[in-house]
Amino acid sequence: MTSKIEEAQEHIRQAEKCLKTSLLKWRPDFDNAAEEYNKAATCFRNAKSLDQCRDCLMKSADCHRQNRALFHAAKCLDQAILICKEMNNLGDIRKLAERACNLYQQHGSPESGATVLDKAAKILEQTHPEDALQLYKQAVDVVTIEDSTRQGAEYASKVARIMVKLGMYDQAADAIRREIGLHQQVGSEGAIGRLAVALVLVQLARGDYVAAEKAFKEWGNCCDAAEVQTLESLLQAYDDEDPELAQRALSSPFIRHMDVEYARLARDLPLPKGVSIAPKANVIENAAASYVSPNSGAAGDAAAKPAAGPAGGDDEDEGGLC
């Protein structure tokens, strides 16, 4: 390890010597300096000194850029991205990828620029999805400028799926429509049919049943028979507020086997609440005494009591007989 580090330091000294100017040497020797920095980076990598390896790659890239060797400068930054991945230093990857893509584009190699954006986005997708999203967006723009429609549709698909994962449903709906437009240009109706299902799910996640129905009417003719039947059942369930029918439609096999983000969206989609019917009131017998009218009560009392007059008369009759 020590010998490799010493060798790397010697290459750095040679690189710095190449960059010096004098009365007889007016311009730095960027070409040889870049080569020496690159050799130093290799030595540092073999010695597992990744910080110094990345620094030497950055210096080599700068020398190549000064020498107008833009492709080689971008390649150095591309290697620096892999070193950052090894170091688990993911915060610098997006910036390096954007710089490398810019250099590739200036050199006239936009496909290589899109590739480095894609590679960096894959590294960041799990831990830094927001950065990955921005890189995929740039990749779509780069390849569509070069009329690489099929590749653009692939990157647009990744944009839409990350947006769904992040819960950005409004932006996801726009991204899916853009993806559908790219597939239209290459005539891929099967892909459009699957995206129609995804768009309906996203619109339902937004809580916009009207937009979901509109998406089905617009793109449903590209769906196969099973997809059409499932979407009709799903939309009918939300129209009728039938949670059981909606659950059956969302559990259909082709929805479960969609891309992971859309399958999870279907699993977590809020079901219609259903039409609630007020329960009948339970009648409890003999819960309270029966109501009795005051008038009927007075009459009853009067009927129940014996008349005072006739009773007194009997007494008098009895006394008279005595």
Helices and strands of the chain, counted as H and E runs: 17, 0
Model pLDDT, residue 81: 97
Question: Does pLDDT of 55 surpass 90?
Answer: yes
Confidence (pTM): 0.80
Model pLDDT, residue 146: 80
Separation of alpha carbons 245 and 93, rounded Å: 46
* pLDDT band per the 50, 70, 90 thresholds, residue 282: low
Q: Give buried/exposed letters for 219-254 (b at 16+ CB in 10 A, else e).
A: bbebbeeebbebbebbbebbeeebeebbeebbebee
Backbone angles phi, psi at 85, to 5 degrees: -65, -45
Give the pLDDT mean for 304-317: 46
Question: Does pLDDT of 292 surpass 80?
Answer: no
Mean pLDDT value across the chain: 86
Give the pLDDT mean for 108-121: 95
Residue whose structure tokens are 């005494």: 289
Backbone angles phi, psi at 168, to 5 degrees: -90, 70
pLDDT 10s digits, 232-243: 999 999 999 999
Give the pLDDT mean for 199-208: 94
Give the pLDDT mean for 291-310: 48
Question: Does pLDDT of 180 surpass 80?
Answer: yes
Do 78 and 57 meet the contact criterion of CB atoms below 8 Å apart? no
Question: Does pLDDT of 32 surpass 60?
Answer: yes
Strongest mean pLDDT among 58-67, 274-283, 298-307, 308-317: 58-67
Model pLDDT, residue 289: 52
* pLDDT band per the 50, 70, 90 thresholds, residue 208: very high
Structure tokens at 275: 């039409």
Q: Is the dihedral of CA 223, 229, 233, 236 positive or negative?
A: positive
Model pLDDT, residue 299: 45
Kindly state the percentage of the chain with pLDDT values over 90.
Answer: 68
Separation of alpha carbons 235 and 238, rounded Å: 5
Give the pLDDT mean for 240-267: 91
Q: Which residue has the higher pLDDT, 312 or 124?
A: 124
Alpha helices in 166-224, H assignment, sequence order: 169-186, 189-205, 209-219
Question: Does pLDDT of 284 surpass 80?
Answer: no
Report which of 134, 214, 203 is spatially closest to residue 170, judged by C-alpha positions. 203
pLDDT 10s digits, 65-109: 999 999 999 999 999 999 999 999 999 999 999 999 999 999 999
Give the pLDDT mean for 205-221: 92
Q: Which residue has the higher pLDDT, 281 or 2?
A: 2
* pLDDT band per the 50, 70, 90 thresholds, residue 274: low
Give the pLDDT mean for 304-322: 45
